[in-house]
Structure 1
C-alpha cells in the first residue's frame, strides 16, 4: 500500500516538481567556507569573484530559476574550481547535484564568457605606457627600450584525432597547443596567441602574428621585444649572442638573460595559479580547450591587477641549440646597442 500511495502522490505532481524533488541541495561554498579555504579552492576571494561576475554575469545568468537552475555565481565557482584542479572529479566531488554533462556545459559557457574579455584585459602597451613599461624593464638589468619579453609554452592536450592529429605532437612527444606569450616586468600577459599546434616552431608563430606585422610597420617606434635564440634577430626583436667575443657582448647577454627571465616567471606563475594548463587539458572540444587557455590568461592578468599574492618562481634560462633558426637575420640594432651601452 505504501508504494502504491507513493506512486499516487507522485502522479499528482508536475514533471517540474518531480525534477526539483530529485535534485539534491548543493553545498553553499560561498557562505560556508572560511576565507582562506575559499581562496585556496577557487584562487580568488569573494570580492574578486564579484568583480568577475560584474563583467560576465549577464552572459551566463539563467533565464529562469525553474528546476533549481544554477545561478551565475555558482557557475563561475564551478569553472574556477576546474581551472584550479583540471579535474571534473574534483568539481563533481565538491558541487553536489551537478552531473558531468551539466558541469561540461557550464564550463563551456563560463569559459567562453571570460575569454571574450581578452581584448580589454590583454593589451600591448601604447603611447606613454610604453615608456613606463620600458622603465620598469630597465630597472631589472639596465636594458633600454624593452616593450615586452616573448616566449612560447606548451599546454598539453589529448590527441585531437583525425588526419592532422600528429601536427599537435611537440618535440617532447606529447600532444599540445604551442602558446605565444608576451610578458611585461610585472608578469602581466600583454599579448597571447592561442591557436597553433605543438609541432609549430616558436619563430613561425611570431612571424605570422599580428604583433609582428605591427612591429614591422613601426607602430611601436624604437621599442622592441626580447626573445631567446629560437627567434630571428630583428631590429624590433633582439636575441642574445650565441658566441659572445667581447666583454660588451657578454654584458649584453647577461642583461638580456636577466631581463628575459621575466617571461619564464610569468608563465610559471600562470600555470601554477591554474593547474589545468600545467597538468594538461583533457577536454575534447578544441574550441573549449583554446578558450580555457585564453580565459586563464585573462584571469591571470586580473589577479595581477588585484595584486593577488602568489608564490613567485625563478627559472633557469636554457638556450636550446636545436631551437636556433636558420636564415638571414638583422643584427644591426643589437650591434649598435652593444656599442652604445654595454
Structure 2
C-alpha cells in the first residue's frame, strides 16, 4: 500500500510541498514492532505478585473468569492482548497511577493500547460487577449490618457510615474547570461513600466537582430518597457535622454537657470512624485514586467506581491490606457545622440520648 501511495505522487503531473511531506512520512514511518510479553502469573511469586497488583493470583483468576467473555477479541491478529493481560495491566495502573508508557514497557505494548485497555476494562467492571456495591437488600442483611455496627460502640440501628473524600485530578480545562477546584485549592472529584462495619462500600456517588459540599451531594442522591421513602425502616446513617441532622442521619453534638451526651458523641464518632478507615484502605489498595489521576475527565468516574468495586471484591475474598508505600495528604473536606437543623430532628436525637444513652451510661457506672 505504501508503494501505491508513492507511485501515485510520482505519476502526478504536478507536485506540491504537501505531497513531498506525505511521501517523506511514508518512507520514514517507523515499522510496527511486537515486543515480547512476560507471563506475569508465572514470573512473580505470590508475595511479589500481590505487591504489584494488589490482589492475589486466586482473586485475579476469579476476576478473569467473570470478565473474560467481555474482553476477548474476535481474532488473534496483530498479537491481540489476552483478557488476563488486560486485567493485569489495568490492575497495575490502579496500583501505581503511573503514566501508560510505564505499563507499556512492562507488558510490551504501546502506551495508546494501554490507555484504551484501561478505560475499556474500567467500564466493563462497572457494568458487569456493579452489583458488588449495594445497600442491604432484605431484613436478614439489614439485621446483620446493624449487629456489626453495634459491636463497635453499641450505637443502635446503624446501617452505614457516610462521608465524602476528594479524588485528586488534573485541571480539566474548559469554562467550568474552576468548579473542580476544592477549598484546599486542588482539582478533585468529591466522592460520597457509605461504608459498613467491615469497610465495604455500600453506596458510591462519584460525579460531583470538588467545589460541591458534602451535604449537597447527599441531598441529590438516590440513597437519600430511599431513606425518605422509608425503605430502610428505622435504620440510620452516621455522618459528621457537615450533614444536616435527620431522623435517619445522626450527627455528633457540638458541645456535649451531660454524661449521656458525651457517651452519645463517643459512640457516634467511634462507629462513624469506619468510613474514614474505608477511605484509607481503598486508597492504599489502589494508589491511583490517592494520588492525582492523570486521565481525561470523562474517564475518571469509571476508574473511581471500578476501584471501589475491586475494593469490595478484595474484602469479600479476604485479601490482605497492602503495606502503605507512600503518605498521602489529608484531602478530606474539613467538618463544617450546619447551623439550620430542624427542630424535630433535634428532638429525635435528644430522645435517643435520654432514653438509650442515659440508660447505657447508668449501666456502665454500676
TM over 0.5: yes
In the other structure, the counterpart of 2:36 is 25
Shift of 1:225: 0.2
For 2:290, what is the secondary structure of its paired residue? helix
1:46 aligns with 2:61: no
CA contact (8 A) 1:137 1:143 kept: yes
User: Which is worse superposed, 107-116 or 267-276?
Assistant: 107-116
In the other structure, the counterpart of 2:352 is 337
Q: 2:306 aligns with which of 273, 277, 295?
A: 295
Shift of 1:126: 2.3
1:202 aligns with 2:217: no
CA contact (8 A) 1:229 1:319 kept: no
Question: Distance in 2 between the 1:27 and 1:73 partners?
Answer: 12
CA contact (8 A) 2:164 2:333 kept: no
1:112 aligns with 2:127: no
Question: Distance in 2 between the 1:109 and 1:51 partners?
Answer: 19
State the Cα deviation string for residues 243-268 of structure 1 (Å, max 9, x = none): 11211111100001110110000110
1:110-259 map, 5 Å: 110-127=121-138, 128-259=140-271
- Output the aligned Cα RMSD: 1.9
State the Cα deviation string for residues 69-128 of structure 1 (Å, max 9, x = none): 1011000001000000001243123212x1110100011111111122453100001222
User: Which is worse superposed, 304-313 or 288-297?
Assistant: 304-313
In the other structure, the counterpart of 2:9 is none
Change (3 A) 1:311 1:40: closer
CA contact (8 A) 2:165 2:333 kept: no
Question: Distance in 1 between the 2:95 and 2:282 partners?
Answer: 11
State the Cα deviation string for residues 286-314 of structure 1 (Å, max 9, x = none): 2311100000000000000000011699x
Question: Distance in 2 between the 1:172 and 1:118 partners?
Answer: 34
CA contact (8 A) 1:229 1:320 kept: no
Question: Distance in 2 between the 1:81 and 1:311 partners?
Answer: 14
Question: Distance in 1 between the 2:176 and 2:286 partners?
Answer: 28
Change (3 A) 1:311 1:48: closer
The answer for unaligned runs of 5 or more in structure 1 is 1-18
1:72 aligns with 2:79: no
1:307 aligns with 2:315: no
Shift of 1:320: 4.4
Tell me the TM-score normalised to structure 1 length: 0.89
Aligned residues: 318
Shift of 1:220: 0.4
In the other structure, the counterpart of 1:10 is none
In the other structure, the counterpart of 1:100 is 111
CA contact (8 A) 2:95 2:288 kept: yes
Shift of 1:60: 1.3
For 1:94, what is the secondary structure of its paired residue? helix
Change (3 A) 1:62 1:242: same
Question: Distance in 2 between the 1:152 and 1:99 partners?
Answer: 36
In the other structure, the counterpart of 1:325 is 338
Change (3 A) 1:134 1:208: same
Tell me the TM-score normalised to structure 2 length: 0.83
